[in-house]
Amino acid sequence: MKRLTNKRILLGVSGSIAAYKAPDIVRRLQDLGAEVRVVLTQGGAKFITELSLQATSKNKVHDNLWDKEAELAMGHIELAKWADAILVAPASANTLANLSAGKASDLLSNVVLASDAPVLIAPAMNQKMYGSLAVKDNLSILQERNIKFISPEYGEQACGDIGEGRLADPGEIAKQVSEIFSSTKLTGKKVLITLGATIEAIDPVRYLSNHSSGKMGMALARACIEAGAQVTLIHGDVSIPLSNKSNNISANSASEMHQAVMENIGNQDVFIACAAVSDYRVKNIEKNKIKKENKTLTLELIPNKDILADVCKLNHKPICIGFAAETQNLIENAQNKLKNKGCDAIILNDVSRADFGFKMNDNEVVFLTQKSSLKIQKNSKQKIGRKIVEIIIEKFL
Ligand SMILES: Cc1cc2nc3c(=O)[nH]c(=O)nc-3n(C[C@H](O)[C@H](O)[C@H](O)COP(=O)(O)O)c2cc1C
């Protein structure tokens, strides 16, 4: 897998003569697998056209904070949430000053302020400007805020001066972006994840199921794969493509999923039960399609085996993480689940909310253990997945 596969990089291009190299930076990021969107400052637009950046990034270029259409959907906040990392390259002296002062005067500075994604800056300017105390102070303020700094090169500059201030090589910039994602924290670890909705047949054409799409499970799978884990997915009905980097096993009903989990759980280090598994199944599945009749139809339901509880009872159980989709008494119900099933953590989802959860791209969860409760604020499922995996590593591995 390329090091930036599935990564969304927001490239801020500001007003340096080196902005003509921005399309090359876009291409080098894409070579590593990234999806790139560009925010162009007014200064940047003097040195490179929107069209060149649109053609290379294959995405609309964002250049205006006051774009009425984009801001209908709070475009600057959406961009901030979309990004897995923000790269400002080239970063002009003026943009560095804006960022270090925390100004929100243009689209780029707003997006940086509104994002919790890592930020990288690659300055490019005349060697005297780069050596000035003001620029040096701004850079040190930004570095104290954990903004990663990609040093400019020494050499001949556009103005004819020789010194430090030339934009770093685009290939080197892309490499440094990829390095912030490379984690080997799960290398050598095996993770089994269940995802999607189970299907309980009523007759050959009808079934009982639920709204789970598999998106949260896939986000967790991607985060584990990124961190170097060997991932097995046991999936029910899903509405998204599965990773081709995992061992994927299909299981329709809760019973099939129980069996598949039990057959594959040996040697796993972590088990994440993210599938929405039916608690009940139909006792007598009709062999033929039930015919419509003008009277009440009663289905007798019997309980399914509890996959998570059964894994937690194993002698050599892996680290067990469950999900609790709740609509009321959220924390209380999730804590009961944690205790009754004997798992190491429960991730609580409020599925009564209309703005995140089932089928949506966003989620907001609480990571609960016997001793702690940690809220992960609303964000894309991909980011929530990464955060959950980080917490699992930190707490249990
Ligand atoms: C021909 C020319 C070249 C410039 N080159 C640079 C440069 O390489 N680096 C820089 O920091 N500023 C440079 N500037 C100044 C910036 O373009 C100016 O400060 C602008 O306001 C930056 O806007 P921005 O940070 O919003 O993009 C240059 C200006 C001109 C006229």
Residues 200, 136 within the same domain: no
**Global pTM?**
0.63
124 lines ligand 1 (CB under 6 A): yes
Out of 91-105, 172-186, 329-343, the most confident range is 91-105
Q: Which atom of ligand 1 is nearest to the CA of 44?
A: 27
Q: Which domain CATH number covers 357?
A: 3.40.50.10300
- pLDDT exceeds 70 at position 6: yes
Question: Last residue of a domain, which of 179, 206, 227?
Answer: 179
Range of lowest pLDDT (8-12, 225-229, 234-238, 353-357) = 353-357
Tell how far the Cα of 108 is from the centroid of ligand 1, in angstroms. 15
343/367 Cα distance (integer angstroms): 12
Residues 172, 195 within the same domain: no
- pLDDT, tens digit (0-9, with 9 covering 90-100), for 36-54: 999 999 999 999 999 999 9
Q: Which domain CATH number covers 143?
A: 3.40.50.1950
CB neighbour class for 241 (10 Å; exposed up to 12, middle 13-18, buried from 19):
exposed
Residue 391, H or E segment: helix 381-396
Q: Assess if residue 1 is contained within a domain.
A: no
Expressed as residue numbers, the domain containing 166 is 8-179
Question: Last residue of a domain, which of 121, 146, 179?
Answer: 179
248 lines ligand 1 (CB under 6 A): no
- pLDDT exceeds 80 at position 361: no
What's the mean per-residue pLDDT of the chain? 93
Residues 203, 139 within the same domain: no
Residues 197, 162 within the same domain: no
Tell me what pLDDT residue 168 has: 96
92 lines ligand 1 (CB under 6 A): yes
Amino acid present at 310: D
Q: Assess if residue 244 is contained within a domain.
A: yes
Q: Which residues, in sequence order, are bridge partners of residue 194?
A: 234, 273
Residues 353, 210 within the same domain: yes
- pLDDT exceeds 70 at position 34: yes
C-alpha distances in Å from residue 317, one per residue of 166, 221, 242, 269, 352: 55, 20, 26, 8, 32
Q: Tokens for 317, please give them.
A: 């159980």
Summarize the confidence of residues 165-188 as an average pLDDT.
91
Q: Assess if residue 184 is contained within a domain.
A: no
Residues 253, 119 within the same domain: no
Q: Which atom of ligand 1 is nearest to the CA of 93?
A: 11
> pLDDT tier at 149 (50, 70, 90 boundaries)?
very high
Tell how far the Cα of 295 is from the centroid of ligand 1, in angstroms. 78
User: How many domains does the structure of the chain reveal?
Assistant: 2
132 lines ligand 1 (CB under 6 A): no
Residues 312, 293 within the same domain: yes
- pLDDT, tens digit (0-9, with 9 covering 90-100), for 256-299: 999 999 999 999 999 999 999 999 999 999 999 999 999 999 99
Q: Assess if residue 110 is contained within a domain.
A: yes
C-alpha distances in Å from residue 63, one per residue of 40, 60, 79, 112, 216: 5, 10, 12, 14, 32
Residues 264, 133 within the same domain: no
Tell me what pLDDT residue 362 has: 84
Tell me what pLDDT residue 357 has: 67
Question: Last residue of a domain, which of 155, 179, 203?
Answer: 179
CB neighbour class for 345 (10 Å; exposed up to 12, middle 13-18, buried from 19):
buried
Question: Which residue pairs, CB below 8 angstroms and at least 24 apart, start in 155-163?
Answer: 157/126, 157/127, 158/17, 158/18, 159/126, 161/126, 161/127, 161/128, 162/127, 163/126, 163/127, 163/128, 163/130, 163/131
- pLDDT, tens digit (0-9, with 9 covering 90-100), for 193-245: 999 999 999 999 999 999 999 999 999 998 998 888 999 999 999 998 888 78
- pLDDT, tens digit (0-9, with 9 covering 90-100), for 373-396: 999 988 888 889 989 999 999 999
383/132 Cα distance (integer angstroms): 38
